[in-house]
Amino acid sequence: MSFDNAYESLLGHEDSHWAFGTGFSEALSGVNREFPAGVDTADLAAYCLMLGDDALIFSQRLSEWCSRAPELEEDIALANIALDLLGQARMLLTRAGEVLGKSEDDLAYLRDEREFRNVHLAEIDCGPGPGGDFGTTIARLLVFSSWRLALFSRLAPSPLRAGSADPVLAAVAEKGLKELAYHRDHAAQWTVRLGDGTDESHRRMQAGLERVWPFVDELFATHAVEARLTGVAVDPASLKSEVDGVLEAVFSAAGLSRPADTRAARVAGMAGRDGVHTEAMGYLLAEMQHLHRSLPGAVW
Amino acid sequence: MTTALEIASAVRDPELPVLTLADLGVLRDVSEEDGRVVVTITPTYSGCPAIDEMGADLRRSLISAGYSEVEVRLSLSPAWTTDWISSEGRSKLAAAGIAPPSRIGPSVAGPVPLNLVPPSRQVACPQCGSPNTSEISRFSSTACKALRRCNACSEPFEHVKEI
């Protein structure tokens, strides 16, 4: 074999084998994608964007830790969690795109800030930037995954509930549920390790919770789209007592205190679900979208 | 004559090449419709980057066996579980130095239990067989594996984690 051309030697003259994660096929190819009867598809698309954007934007934040975490195992753990969320985002954006006539890439790379529907908790800087540290990131992961797990457990069909009337949302949730359980356990175990560790680790873990707490309120606020999608969406207000119970169990084992309830400032009562974002969002999107916008259609 | 099912069943997993897609339990259905082969696979994890490779490998194997039209479909529900890894697959993993998952059974109704400490699973060391092993990290080189260490022979090893 000649190694004059590294690309060709890797390729073995077969494009499809050059690396994993190249030449993506469509995220929902072959999945039952009928729209449930009587459902406003514009609302369904908006809801898929909400849940898809939460995962996409938080995945981007978690990826920032790769090579910068306190230990190698944690680089790998956070990157794996980010990958799971990116997979969930791809399927949800594809579902939204079926209604909107756009691809998952159009939605991820070519929307402007005001068109993103993620909660603020997903986008704020919790480290490795100046907005936090590893403890802050764990605090966000604990809150986010506890909340999303409770949400997905209601969207997924189970012996207790029918799940979402949308077959794609139900299937994405059923699959994601198992992943989120690992994410939540990982965050909970770190919270206990740091909270119940040294004075310094305890102080930083508590500070991390204080940093993310003003953004928790938004997770449980019912949006008009969620209220209209009866049987398809989950009313997030209904998740509060379950999530509170989980967080209380973790705080108690970690010797941490639940921060006082405060709420981050909003613009005319609007927040992430309405497309109104924090200052951090523009910088995040600039990094995430820059390559695709500079070189439209670029592929690996 | 080799059937489409036999060909598809023999395709190997790109990340765990000791296993075939059938051993891993991701090959859900192979059927022939109007002269086309329709293969249905399911991803292990939502973000598994190998899923596209699996589809490409299936297509390539079937086309080189003479099937002119191959369609690969994705199925998300029911969600993949490590319980679908075959007994033969489990033996192959252990022989390759990767601890196979234990059986978890059907999920129970109600809230997902929170684990404040890593669940104490009896995972035998694939090198020396000692049951005295501990988890280093829940996450490893691929989404589906955890990293463990044997406390008897000190070897680190990977474990296909239960899901």
pLDDT digits (tens, 9 = 90+) for A62-110: 999 999 999 999 999 999 999 999 999 999 999 999 999 999 999 999 9
Q: Is the residue at B145 inside a domain? A: yes
Residues A49, A233: contact at Cβ < 8 Å? no
Residues A235, A226: contact at Cβ < 8 Å? yes
pLDDT over 70, % of chain A: 91
Q: Which of B112, B121, B136, B147 to mutate to test the interface with A (most CBs of A within 10 A)?
A: B112
Residues B8, B68 share a domain = yes
Q: Which of B13, B40, B46, B104 to mutate to test the interface with A (most CBs of A within 10 A)?
A: B46
Q: Is the residue at B107 inside a domain? A: no
Mean pLDDT across A30-45: 90
CATH number for position B29? 3.30.300.130
Q: Is the residue at B140 inside a domain? A: yes
Residues B67, B128 share a domain = no
Interface subset of B 13-52, CB within 8 angstroms of A: 14-15, 40, 43, 45-50, 52
pLDDT digits (tens, 9 = 90+) for B20-79: 999 999 999 999 887 799 999 999 999 888 888 999 999 999 999 999 999 999 998 899
User: A168: left (phi > 0), else alpha (psi -120 to 50), else beta?
Assistant: alpha
What is the structure's pLDDT at A2?
43
Mark B83-116 as b/e (b = at least 16 C-beta within 10 Å).
ebbeeebbebbeeeebbbbbeeeeeeeeebebee
Q: Is the residue at B32 inside a domain? A: yes
Reply yes or no on whether the pLDDT at A18 is more than 70: no
HSE toward the beta carbon, residue A226, CA cutoff 13 A = 18
Residues B10, B67 share a domain = yes
Tokens of residue A137, six digits: 């990131």
Question: Which domains occur in chain A, in start order?
Answer: 38-294 (1.20.1260.10)
Q: Is the residue at B138 inside a domain? A: yes
For residue A296, which amino acid is it? P
Residues of B in contact with A90 (CB under 8 A): 46-47
Q: Which of B63, B74, B75, B76 to mutate to test the interface with A (most CBs of A within 10 A)?
A: B76
Q: Is the residue at B91 inside a domain? A: no
Residues B70, B123 share a domain = no
Write the residue in B50, B80, B111 that is nearest to A20 by C-beta: B50
Residues B123, B133: contact at Cβ < 8 Å? yes
Residues of B in contact with A247 (CB under 8 A): none
Residues B69, B11 share a domain = yes
Q: Is the residue at B51 inside a domain? A: yes
Q: Is the residue at B114 inside a domain? A: no
Domain count, chain B: 2
- Domain interval for residue B48: 4-74
Write the residue in A21, A158, A174 that is nearest to B109 by C-beta: A158
